[in-house]
Structure 1
Amino acid sequence: MTVKIGLIGLGMIGRDHLQRFNNVITGAQVTAVCDINRAAADAVAAEYHATAFYDADELINSDQVDAIFICSIGPVHKAQILSAFKAGKPVFCEKPLTPTADESQEIIAAEVAAGKRLLQLGFMRRFDPGYQALKQTIASGELGEIMLIHCAHRNPSVPESYTLEMAVNDSATHEIDIIRYLLNENIVSVRVDKPRKKTSRAYPHLQDPLIVIFETESGVRIDDELFVNCNYGYDIRCEVIGENAISGLTEQALTYTRSPNGVSRHISQSCMERFATAYDREVQNFVDNISRGSAMTGPSSWDGYVVALVCDAGLASLKDGQKHDVTIPECPALYLA
């Protein structure tokens, strides 16, 4: 069985996934693409021998597609997801699920009413070999009681369109999800600190770097450095401090060079480069579930909702600098399996 994929949104991540379907993923083919930019949709459709659509609902309801792959901007996710649910088609959606937690509740309600998980959310770090190994180390008990986690999320640069709010909703969102994945517990409070100094590389409207402080149900304290104009590369760090030992991600360098000047290592320049394996694995997982006729696995709508709750608290702290508590409702049974 070849799963026919309808891909919505032809920006940077959408085109990266198109390459993935074309060159890496087995058991699936992109048969339709959609973008509001008609010229882009036509050009990509011609390149990948797919049908071009300019309206998401038309693609979703087309007989040419079995499953929906959403790479559009966050504000339109809810409508596209609900349309796919109504059409009875499984969905992969890039994060965020929705820009706010209130919008996510409608998706949760629709999926619970369907009685089956229909959506996989694009928190790709859960499929990264480094984070998976780190989770196994924590679960083994080797580190002892977990006390602290140090994280860093660094980009070489961001465009002028990148806002202060995006530091929480687009950057810190990955750490929020991976903390829950690593520790199997929820975040209960958030505080966003603005250092007095900011990099000269940041646009005037942007405070960069930021420090976000999270606390979990058991009292684990996490600090997350968000430095999105660090200049030198895309650098993701995570170090877990246990009572007996510590464990963290390695440099993840793909190559190194030895020369008379010493040893140098290549540093990733984008998330697509650093997490290429994780992206491949998450998409193959989505396709495999469809081929088996199984409910979706991996990050769920509920995970997206909980991350949105934490982000909402983070945005409130971004405004007043205070610690904000996060209240998470009881998780529906559908997402506990």
Structure 2
Amino acid sequence: MGDAVTATLRLGVIGAGAMGTDHVRTITTAVPGATVTQVHDRDAVRANQVAQRAGGEVAASAEELIGSDEVDAVVVAAPDATHAGLVLACIDAEKPVLCEKPLAVTAQDALRVVEAEVAYGRRLVQVGFMRRYDPGYVRLKETLAAGDLGDVRVVHNVHRNASSATSATGPGIITGSMVHELDTVAWLLDDQVVGIRVESPVKDGLPDPQLATLEMAGGALATVEVFVNARYGYDVRCEVVGTAGTAALARTPSVSTRTAGVEGVEVASDFVIYFADAYRHELAAWTRAARAGGVDGPTAWDGYLANLVAEAGVASLASGTRQAVAAAPRPTLYDGIR
């Protein structure tokens, strides 16, 4: 694609599971200036179904899709283990790429992506940390930036799923679910995690829920509770405590019911519903930037840092001890970005 700006951005989507399918639907129905031209998935039948609904075609392989002249930019929503290799291929093809989290399975592989992008000399990689686009989180960050809370001392986070097959191991809860908070806290505070401790009250079987304590370079602490089998629904909370006050996400439902002697509001069933606005804003912003040949959202460096903290968290869960987090030197390509 190079530096050319196209009237309509032609997108290739790799992965037609729940996330990829929802991205295709959102792009097709709610993102102006973009169209899905190709879809690839290991399940060819599913890929064909998703492609047909978008008016696109099926690519025989991910490599074919990335190299296609009919694709200007790529969305990677394939299994986690494929992310780093697919993103590296997009950099080699000089095409902007939105990669779902995590950027890689290991911090070392994420750093390889960073190094490839630095060698290319321009940003092409955006990581799918969509909470940065959620209206509630955006307003929370604006409140912090205004200084209304004074000096931040503590950030409390809750992340609960009704059930989860994708985070079915102790390490998987950290790398597949908690990784969102590992990025979000650093972004909210414009700070970096320097230490982490992860514990679980469950000693036999799946260690779920888990509680992490994050130490930030600036001195603040953050707690992260992740419960991937909480049963009652999908629930995310965040409260920032400062020396002059507190601020928290406020989810205001449109309808409150009183039935069968119970007053209440509906709880979202999954993350796609809960963060629908965030995904829409993310894809729209990425499309605008990609039409100009680049990206301007969460960086490959952010993906590397989240991978690095997650690895330390996995080590902490196994050892029962605090783990230090020491990042590689930050390349100048990412200076001034947060």
Q: TM-score range by the shorter chain?
A: over 0.9
Q: How high is the TM-score relative to the length of structure 2?
A: 0.94
Provide the rounded CA distance (Å) in 2 between the counterparts of 1:39 and 1:242. 52
Pairwise mapping of residues 156-171 of structure 1 onto structure 2 (< 5 A)?
156-159=162-165, 162-171=168-177
Deviating beyond 4 angstroms after TM superposition, the runs of 4 or more aligned structure 1 residues are: none
Question: Residue by residue, what CA displacement relative to the aligned partner does 1:13-54 show, whole Å, maximum 9, x if unpaired?
Answer: 000111101111110000000011122222322333211123
Pick aligned residue for 1:152 from 158, 162, 182: 158
Show the counterpart of 1:63: 69
Match for 1:111: what amino acid? E
Say which SS state the counterpart of residue 287 (structure 2) adopts. helix
1:41 corresponds in structure 2 to 47
Structure 2 equivalent of residue 306 of structure 1: 305
> Mind listing any 5+ residue stretches in structure 2 that lack a counterpart?
1-6
| Paired residues for 1:136-151 under 5 Å | 136-151=142-157
Q: Given that residues 151 and 239 in structure 1 are in contact (C-alpha distance below 8 angstroms), is that contact kept between their aligned partners in structure 2?
A: yes
Letter in 2 for 1:243: T
Instruction: Read off the aligned partner of 1:93 and give its amino acid letter.
Output: C
User: For the residues of structure 2 that align with 1:76 and 1:294, how far apart are their CA atoms?
Assistant: 24
1:114 aligns with 2:113: no
User: What residue is the counterpart of 1:200 in the other structure?
Assistant: none
Q: How many residues align?
A: 330
Q: Do the aligned residues in 1 keep the contact of 2:95 with 2:293 (CA within 8 Å)?
A: no
Letter in 1 for 2:327: I
Q: Give me the whole-angstrom Cα distance separating, in 1, the residues matched to 2:150 and 2:284.
A: 34
User: What does the per-residue CA deviation read over 1:270-294, in whole Å, with 9 as the maximum and x for residues that have no partner?
Assistant: 1111110000000001110122x15
In structure 2, how many angstroms separate the alpha carbons of the residues matched to 1:181 and 1:32?
33
How big is the shift at 1:260? 8.1
Query: Match for 2:23 among 13, 17, 24?
Result: 17
Aligned partner letter, 2:237: R
Q: Counterpart of 2:90? A: 84
State the match for 2:137 in structure 1: 131
Q: Could you report, residue by residue, the CA deviation over 1:176-225 in whole angstroms, capped at 9, with x for unpaired residues?
A: 1110111000000010112158xxxxxx7412111111110022111111
Matched to 1:95, the amino acid is: K
Tell me the distance in 2 between the aligned counterparts of 1:150 and 1:231.
Answer: 21
The whole-number CA distance in structure 2 between the counterparts of 1:214 and 1:71 is 28
8 Å CA contact 2:166–2:176 kept in 1: the answer is: no
Secondary structure at the counterpart of residue 88 of structure 1: coil
Q: Cα distance 1:161–1:272, how it changes in 2: closer, same or farther (>3 A)? A: closer
Q: Return 244-253 or 307-316, whichever deviates more.
A: 244-253
Question: Normalising by structure 1, what TM-score?
Answer: 0.94
CA contact (8 A) 1:33 1:59 kept: yes
Structure-2 separation of matches of 1:158 and 1:294: 36
- Over aligned residue pairs, what C-alpha RMSD do you find? 1.6
- Is 1:317 the counterpart of 2:311 in the alignment? no
